[in-house]
Structure 1
Amino acid sequence: MGRGKIEIKRIENSTNRQVTFSKRRNGIIKKAREISVLCEAAVSVVIFSSSGKMFDYCSPNTTLPKILEKYQTDSGQKIWDENHERLSAEIDLIKKENDNMQIELRHLKGEDLNSLQPKDLIPIEDALQNGYAKVREKQMEVWRHHKKNEKRLEDENKELGYLLHQQHLAMTGKFGDLELGYHQKEREMAPHMGMPFRVQPTKPNLQLNK
């Protein structure tokens, strides 16, 4: 018994609609892959579901932008306006510059040098020497800054030590000098007063009073 024809209209049931979309989508992509392999055709398929999700396929030997560009050239219909073309050119330029920078970075790391000629190694050597000189200069700058801070901290430490010493003398040395001057005066007056010189203790002996 053969399959009956399906009326081509929107499927109302959401579940059946999703199942049909998945089956038909896979079938279209499968047919596109087959014709690309069997006939060496450049094929590109882009499918958007009702929810906006994208599904695409492109032949291995080409890309979607190339196919669109060929379509625009062969059909005479402009897909891109001037703004898009300018942006596309800028993107291509940036990609090319990025690729060149990646190559230069690998060379500076010492990678992929076998394909270079001796004259190509000269600017790489110059760049490395300039970079080394700048690194050494930065190291010396950091070292000088460190020594300067170290000297400043040492001077501050000496100044604080001096201030503490002066404070200590102000609290203890002044009274000691007064007491020493008193005993010196007593020794000088003892012969004139006919009294034997006797040193008095600065503090009473508590044991004598017992």
Structure 2
Amino acid sequence: MARGKVQMKRIENTVHRQVTFCKRRAGLLKKAKELSVLCDADVGLIIFSSHGKLYELSTKGNMQGLIERYMKSARGSQIEEGEGDQPPESEQEIVMLKQEIQLLQKGLRYMFGGGVGTMTVDELHALERHLEIWIYHIRSAKMQIMFQEIQVLKNKEGILKAANEFLQEKVEEQNGFFDFPPMITGIPYPLTILNEIFQF
């Protein structure tokens, strides 16, 4: 009596599903052992049941060694694929970046005393553009620093003005109290009197 074709879908009946799992797991492990013996192959097999139970088979050595071999092999194949299957855009970008690095190295050699005789006109134009960009950034940074310094000086000026007004008020109070003579040569009183009145 011929068996019907088994539909490849999840078995709904839990008992039937468990029986099928046990039978097919045993068959799979048997086939893996046969493959290893007949073909002298290293076979590693890992199975997790629906309940999370682990079943494993490693025909030669242990599973850890097989996994390490697999990781090394997979890493090597990824590197080879990455070298051979680069998209044309990334290849163009790599070429452009290499050219720019070479140009900048030549420019640095020139700035530190090397000759420009080896550079072409296009390279000199490109170097000039880079230098203009660098000068722009340098000037922007310089202007930012100068603006910050101006703000600091303005703050100091405000503090000094407030201190000056305070000192003048103190001097006027003292002038009325001690009845000192009026200002001499634009300075209200000698600096020694100011120091005594207002100590910094």
Query: TM class, shorter-chain normalised?
Result: 0.3 to 0.5
Instruction: Report the structure number with the largest CA radius of gyration.
Output: 1
Q: Which has the higher contact order (CA 8 A, sep 6+)?
A: 2
